[in-house]
């Protein structure tokens, strides 16, 4: 029940923050509240890890804002850091390696710095499985690029990373 209340508070805060960040009122952010509440209720019944249910609203917001304006707000990164500090032992070496690789990729503009921070903070939580998450995000991003009608040179990478991280957590938990 506590996780349900935390997610409800998180979702209502994210609704107002997302509208403020996008500088327009967008009611499609309201869709995330019932969907994620149902996922939280069913996730608790299915014994899905608590931290994964905690970061679902964060992934939803960072994906939505990245699709809308091409940025990932720092609030998403702060929430992932809080999740890492609250729920897990931290993998600092893997965090440093993934941050340095991401910094190298963002230096040459192959990936945005918000994506680098997202990958690095998620590597604090899942450790070595970040490789699967990153490769899965690349494949999902390539799929999104191929099905786009208007080909752009830059695609939002956060939605594909978030989908990939969730799939890695659901299917590669004990590797």
Q: Is the pLDDT of residue 16 over 60?
A: yes
* pLDDT per position as a tens digit, 81-103: 887 887 767 888 888 998 899 88
H or E element that contains 21: helix 2-22
| Sequence-ordered strand ranges (E) for the chain | none
pTM confidence score? 0.79
pLDDT digits (tens, 9 = 90+) for 28-81: 555 666 666 666 666 555 556 667 777 777 888 888 888 888 888 888 888 888
* Greatest CA separation for the chain: 46
At 146-160, the pLDDT tens digits run: 888 777 777 889 999
Note whether 118 and 72 are within 8 A (CB).
yes
User: How high is the mean pLDDT of the chain?
Assistant: 78
Reduced to 3 states, what is the DSSP secondary structure of residue 73?
coil
What do you get for the CA distance between the two ends of the chain, in Å? Answer: 30
């Amino acid at each position: 029940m506590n996780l349900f209340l935390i997610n409800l508070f998180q979702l209502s805060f994210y609704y107002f923050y997302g509208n403020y960040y996008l500088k327009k009122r967008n009611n499609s952010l309201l869709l995330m509240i019932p969907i994620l509440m149902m996922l939280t209720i069913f996730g608790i019944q299915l014994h899905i890890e608590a931290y994964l249910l905690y970061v679902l609203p964060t992934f939803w917001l960072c994906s939505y804002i990245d699709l809308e304006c091409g940025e990932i707000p720092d609030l998403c990164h702060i929430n992932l850091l809080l999740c890492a500090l609250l729920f897990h032992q931290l993998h600092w070496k893997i965090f440093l390696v993934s941050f340095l690789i991401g910094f190298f990729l963002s230096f040459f503009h192959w990936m945005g710095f918000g994506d680098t921070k997202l990958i690095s903070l998620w590597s604090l939580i899942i450790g070595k499985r970040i490789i699967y998450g990153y490769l899965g995000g690349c494949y999902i991003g390539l799929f999104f690029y191929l099905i786009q009608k208007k080909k752009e040179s830059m695609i939002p990478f956060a939605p594909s990373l978030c989908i990939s991280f969730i799939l890695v957590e659901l299917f590669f938990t004990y590797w």
